[in-house]
Structure 1
């Protein structure tokens, strides 16, 4: 059985940094780390500077983000960051 996925978009004012289907996302929320699996309840939160961790096809990717917001809705995670780079 195929794993359920969710769409992740990481966007800055300058460009789209990442856009693909992923299994799990962890973001640095304003009040602590937040983790999202597919079908997570809708949520909107401010982000603090830190690392976004992404699991996709058994691999982990990391992105450094600076400020912004995260919105989760309908198995889609959208990160609107002031800046973001893959590390």
Structure 2
């Protein structure tokens, strides 16, 4: 199911880039997202320089380097993979 969600997300991102030359992505964290994210970042043909990413949550006052930080999660699972 995660792979199917990832494939759907890839299609939506590519369509946004084709139609608007920009993709705006809102992402979440958690175990349910891991395989979907792996599918998305492994995809070819997405110009990530034209993507803007937002995250749903973050803990107030938690350093970005803390293991529970959502920023750290996004950095490691998305950005470092691209």
- Could you tell me the TM-score, scaled by structure 1's length? 0.27
TM-score using structure 2 length: 0.28
Larger fraction in helix: 2
Q: Quick check: which has more Rg, 1 or 2?
A: 2
